[in-house]
Amino acid sequence: MKKIALVTGGAGFIGSHMVDLLLKKNFRVRVIDDFSAGSLENLSKHKMDINLKVEKADIRNINQNNSIFKNINYVFHFAGNVDIVPSIEKPKQYMSANVMGTVNILESIRKRKITKFIYAASSSCYGIAKTPTKENAPIDTRYPYALSKYLGEKISFHWASVYKIPIISLRIFNAYGTRSKTSGTYGAAFGVFLKQKLEKKPFTIVGNGKQKRDFVHVTDVANAFLCAAQSGKKNKIYNLGTGKPNSVNYLVSLLGKNKIVYLPRRIGEPYCTCASTQLIRKELKWKPNVKFKDGVVEMLKNINYWKSAPLWNKKKISIATKNWFKYIN
C-alpha cells in the first residue's frame, strides 16, 4: 500500500515542493492550507492526480476528527506565518499561527499511530550566532517570528516526550527557489529583487551588501525532509543549510544590472548565516545538490511568477521597517 503523507501549508513555497517530491515518490498526499500565503496555482500540475487531496482549512481551527488525519504515516508541518519584519508588528498573530497552530496539529495526531512528525523550524532561533552554527549553539530569539518558531519546536518535542510521537526538527536557513512568497508583506530578498527586476527599478540592498546568507534551494529542503522522515532517527534537531553562504552583492550580480539603492543596515540582523551541516550529512545522509548560481538562473527563467508581488522602494521599505528600528537593537 502507498504511504500517506500530510503536508500542512502544502500550497505554499516549501510545502508545494514537498508535495511535488512526495507524489513523485509514489506517496498519497493530503494537504491542509488556508491559502493566506499559498496558492492552488502552486499545485496546479497535480490537479488531476487522484493521489492528492487538498483541504482548505486553518490549522488552528481544523477539527481533530477530520478524516484528513486518518491513517497517515508522515506529517510534514510547514504551515504558519513567515517573514521576520512583519512579526514585529503582529506578534499575537505569529504566536497564534506558529504556536497554537502547531499544538492543534499535534493534538490531531497524538492518538493516531504515525511514523514521524517533521517540523519546519527556523535558524532565526540562533539570533546573531558564531558561524558555522552548530545545533547546540545558544538560542537567541530576537524577533517574534523567531520566538514563535522556536516555541513550536519546543512544543513538538514536549509532545514527543509525553505522547511518544517520533519527531525530527529541521532548522531551515535561507530557503530560496521558485514559488517563494509574493504576498504584500516585506520579507525575503528574492521576492523584493525579482519584482524590482521585472519593473526595471533599483535593487534595494540593506547595508553594504557584503552580508552573507546560507541560501539553500527549496528542492534540497524538500529532499532533506523526506530523508528525515524515512531515516531511523527520531527526536533529533538538524540544521538545514549548505554551509557555503553567499553575499547579497553576489546575488544581485546574478540577477542583472539594475541600479542599486543602499538602505540603512538593520541592527539585530546577523552579518552572516552559515549552517554547520556535519550532523545532517552524517546521520540523514543528505547533502545539497543545487548550486546557488543554478538556482538563481532557474528563478530568472520563472520570473513572471513575481508579477503580482508588491514593488518595494526606499520609502515603502522605510515605512515597513519603522518598528524594526524602534524595537530591535
pTM: 0.96
Element (H, E) at 204: strand 203-206
Q: Within a domain: residue 209?
A: yes
CATH number, domain of 323, equals 3.90.25.10
**CA–CA dist 227, 280 (Å, integer):** 10
Instruction: Give 168's contacts (C-beta < 8 A, 6+ positions apart).
Output: 116, 117, 118, 119, 228, 229, 231, 233, 234, 235, 236, 237, 238
Q: Do 192 and 88 contact (CB within 8 A), yes or no? A: no
Identity of the residue numbered 274: C
The pLDDT averaged over each successive group of 10 residues in the chain (329 residues) is 96 97 98 93 94 97 95 97 92 98 97 95 97 98 97 98 97 95 79 94 95 97 98 97 97 93 92 97 98 97 93 94 87
**What's phi and psi for 106, nearest 5 deg?**
-60, -40
Question: What pLDDT does residue 58 have?
Answer: 97
- pLDDT tens digit string along 264-281? 998 889 999 999 999 999
The Cα diameter of the chain in Å comes to 56
Upstream peptide bond of 270 is cis (omega within 30 degrees of 0): no
Host domain of residue 20: 4-175+215-240
Orientation of helix 144-163 relative to helix 101-109, angle to 10°: 20
What sign results for the dihedral spanned by CA atoms 326, 327, 328, 329?
positive
Instruction: Tell me whether residue 34 is exposed, middle or buried, using C-beta atoms within 10 angstroms of its C-beta: 0 to 12, 13 to 18, 19 or more.
Output: buried
Q: Within a domain: residue 286?
A: no
Question: What pLDDT does residue 181 have?
Answer: 81
CATH number, domain of 236, equals 3.40.50.720
Question: What pLDDT does residue 189 have?
Answer: 87
Q: Which residues are identified as catalytic?
A: 145
Instruction: Give the residue among 234, 240, 206, 238 at the shortest CA–CA distance from 220.
Output: 240
Whether 131 and 265 map to the same domain: the answer is no
Q: Within a domain: residue 14?
A: yes
Whether 113 and 161 map to the same domain: the answer is yes
Q: Do 126 and 138 contact (CB within 8 A), yes or no? A: yes
Question: What pLDDT does residue 66 have?
Answer: 95
Q: How many domains does the chain have?
A: 2
